[in-house]
Amino acid sequence: MAIGVKTDGERGVFDYNDEKHTLKEFWKYFRHNNVAIWVGHNSNNFDWPFLIKRSWKHNITIPTGIKDGRWYRKNIQDTQEIFTGGAYGERIKLDTLAKYFGVGAKNGDGAFFSELYFDNKAAAIDYLYNDLDLTQASMGADAITTDTELLALGLRKFQAEAEVKFIAGIQEHNPDGDRHLCRLEPLQIVQQMKQEAIDQWFYACALEQKLNAAPKEG
């Protein structure tokens, strides 16, 4: 078993030549990043259920943060579901999706990954990394050309990321459940808003510096 992840452009793989050890190390990583945005292709139908079932096989405890009841949490995203709009029974292969957006193509067939892994591990890892790259590129290749498309994309991302951000804020600032945002005094809220505005100013300054320093085209 090999589990690939990609964070901030850096690719990595959980691969310990032992399925139980690989699963334990992956879940340890997930516990420390369970509020992050997790994106896969057909992952809600295959990858997550597969990892969960194999973990049951090894009596490994599944961490919280994947589902709320029967539904995946908002930060667990699937490019197939996003592209098809969740239409029942509608599917699209990662290779087809990547070619549709013009971001590349698969370099193998997942049906033969197990054989490839044992015959040529380096090639198997390369296949895994390519899938990570295609998934990320497809997620970012929304090809926005109209305000209507921008509205749909913005609302979808806000719904997913706002919930994750708010939950993270609760865990950081109100871990005991005795401090609630809605109970702050008006002047306390004003002070918090001013602090956020200051942060936004310096973020804008940092971005401006990067844009000015970037090579100019033409």
If asked whether residues 214 and 130 sit together in one domain, one would say: no
Give dist(CA 95, CA 97) in Å, integer: 5
Domain of residue 209 covers 184-218
In this prediction, residues 156-167 reach a mean pLDDT of 74
In this prediction, residues 66-78 reach a mean pLDDT of 86
What is the pLDDT, as a whole number, of residue 142?
47
Q: Helix crossing, 121-140 with 94-101: angle to 10°?
A: 50
- Kindly state whether residue 149 falls inside one of the protein's structural domains: no
Give dist(CA 145, CA 154) in Å, integer: 13
If asked whether residues 190 and 135 sit together in one domain, one would say: no
Which residue did the predictor score with more confidence, 183 or 153? Answer: 183
Does 148 have pLDDT greater than 60?
yes
Q: Domain count for the chain, please give it.
A: 2
Write down which residue in 82, 106, 140 finishes a domain.
140
CATH of the domain at 135: 3.30.420.10
If asked whether residues 22 and 98 sit together in one domain, one would say: yes
In this prediction, residues 196-216 reach a mean pLDDT of 85
If asked whether residues 37 and 95 sit together in one domain, one would say: yes
Which residue did the predictor score with more confidence, 137 or 158? Answer: 137
What is the pLDDT, as a whole number, of residue 145?
54
Does 56 have pLDDT greater than 90?
yes
User: pTM to 2 decimals?
Assistant: 0.63
In this prediction, residues 55-83 reach a mean pLDDT of 88
If asked whether residues 83 and 27 sit together in one domain, one would say: yes
Which residue do the tokens 């334990």 mark? Answer: 24
Does 216 have pLDDT greater than 80?
no
If asked whether residues 28 and 131 sit together in one domain, one would say: yes
If asked whether residues 22 and 126 sit together in one domain, one would say: yes
